[in-house]
Amino acid sequence: MTFDSLGLAEPLRLALEAEKHLKPTPIQIKAIPVALEGRDLLAVAQTGSGKTAAFTLPLLHRLAADKHHRVPGSPRALILAPTRELASQIVERIHAYGRRLKLNTSVIFGGVPHGKQIKALKAGTDIVVATPGRLLELLNNRHIKLDRLEVLVLDEADRMFDMGFIRDIRKIVRFCPKQRQTLLFSATMPPTIAELAKEVLHDAQRIEISPEKVAVDRIRQQVYFVGAQDKRKLLADLIDGPETGQAIVFTRTKRGADRVCRGLVEGGTSAVALHGNKAQGARVKALEGFRSGKVRVLVATDIAARGIDIPGISHVINYELPNEPESYVHRIGRTARAGASGIALSFCDAAERPYLKAIERLTRVAVEAVDHPLAQVSQDEAPRRPAKRGARGAGPARKRRRPGKRPVPGGRPFAKSRAVQRQSEASV
C-alpha cells in the first residue's frame, strides 16, 4: 500500500514524496482512514512506529479542506505531548508535511518566557502543540481559548501519566467543546489510560500494533554482565571502538547523566548531558549539537527515550537498565530509524538482573550476552542482598520489642501520666 491509496490531499502526498516517505507503516495504514472519517481513535503503538504522521497527516488534511478565518487565541486543533523535545519534534513534522498548506502552528511549553508564546497566540494560529503544564497556565490566565477546537490529540498518553500530567489533562479537556474529534495515542494501555480513554473518547475505533515486535525488528540487542564499578571503563572502551558512531547513553538519574557525561568529556569524547534539570536553552543546544553531528554522544535520562528522531544514531547504550521494561523498548527505539539497522548495548550488574528478566519477558527475546575483559561477572551470579541483622559484619542484632511498649530497666512499660489518663477517660 502507498500513501496515494489512503485518500490524503495532493499537497500532503507531494510533501511525503519530498520527505522520501513512500510506504505507510502499519499504524498509518490503520489509523489514517479512521481519522479521515472524523471518528475518535484509540491507538496503541510504540514510538518509532510512525504514529506522529498517523495523526498529523489526517489533521492537516481536515484543516486544509475546511478553511476558516483564524481567531486570535482560539486554535482549531490541539496536540498534547509530555515533553518539550517531543512537542518540538511534532512541530517539525507538521511543518514538513504541511509545507504546501497555509496553516499556522504554534508550540507551547515551559522553561521559556511566556511573551513569545502569548504573542503567537494573539496573532492567530490553526494548530497548537503543547505540554500540559504551560498550556493549563495560559488557559487559566485566559491567554488561550479552546471553544473553537475541532480536533484534540493526546500523544504518548502513558508517558504523560508517568510524569503526573493526567490531572492537568482532565482539566484541559473540560475547556474543550464536547463536539470534537479526539485521537489518543499510547505505547501501552495501563488501567489508568484505559479509564482516561473512556472519559475523553466517544464511539472510538481501537487500533493496536504489536508493541513487542517493534523493538526487535532491525535492532541487534546485546548485554554485558559487568560490575557497577567497571561500567565507566567499559563505556569508554566501547565508545572508542571504530564501529561506534553517534550514540545515546541512558542513565536512570539526572546526577548519573551528568557524572557519566563528565567522565566521557574528561576522556576526550565530545558529549553533552540532557535531562529535566537543564534549562530549555541548554536542552535545545544539546540536541542541536547532537543532531548536527558536532556532538558524538548524548547522555540522557528517559526524557530522551521518546521524541528524539535522528537517523544517524548507530548505538543506544543502557549504562543503567531501566526499572520499567517499557522504557527499554522506547530507549532502543532511538536507533534503527528510517529503515536503518541499529545496535542496543546494555550494562547489567548483579542488582539489575531482575530488570533484564522483565525486559526479556516483554520483548520475548533473549538478549545476547557478550564477552569482554571488563565483563567477567558470571551470568548466573545471584544479585547481592543486604546482610541480615546480626550477621558477621552487619553489627549486633537488636531484640524486637512489642509495639506500644516502652522498655524500662524493670522490664515493665512506663505508666501513663495522669494527664494522659484523664484525656483517655474523657474521650471514652
- Residues ≥6 apart with Cβ < 8 Å to 407: 401, 413
Please say if the pLDDT value at position 397 is more than 80.
Answer: no
Q: How far apart are CA 84 and CA 135, in angstroms?
A: 12
Q: Could you state, in order of their start, the residue ranges of all structural domains in the chain?
A: 3-209, 213-369
Compare 160 and 364 and report the one with higher pLDDT: 160
**Sign of the torsion angle spanned by Cα atoms 240, 244, 246, 249:** negative
Domains 3-209 and 213-369 share a fold: yes
Please tell me the pTM assigned to this model.
Answer: 0.71
DSSP 3-state of 131:
coil
Please say if the pLDDT value at position 154 is more than 80.
Answer: yes
Please say if the pLDDT value at position 198 is more than 80.
Answer: yes
Q: How far apart are CA 345 and CA 220, in angstroms?
A: 8
> pLDDT tens digits for 94-141?
999 999 999 999 999 998 899 999 999 999 999 999 999 999 999 999
Query: Is domain 213-369 classified as CATH 3.40.50.300?
Result: yes
Q: Is 264 left (phi over 0), alpha (psi -120 to 50) or beta?
A: alpha
Strands (E), 261-391: 271-274, 297-300, 313-318, 342-348, 368-369
Q: How far apart are CA 58 and CA 35, in angstroms?
A: 6
Confidence (pLDDT) at 48: 67
Nearest to 202 by CA among 176, 181, 186: 181
Other C-beta atoms within 10 Å of 382: how many? Answer: 8
44 beta partners: 186, 208
- The CATH architecture one would assign to domain 3-209 is 3-Layer(aba) Sandwich (3.40)
Confidence (pLDDT) at 339: 56
Instruction: State the average pLDDT over residues 279-301.
Output: 90
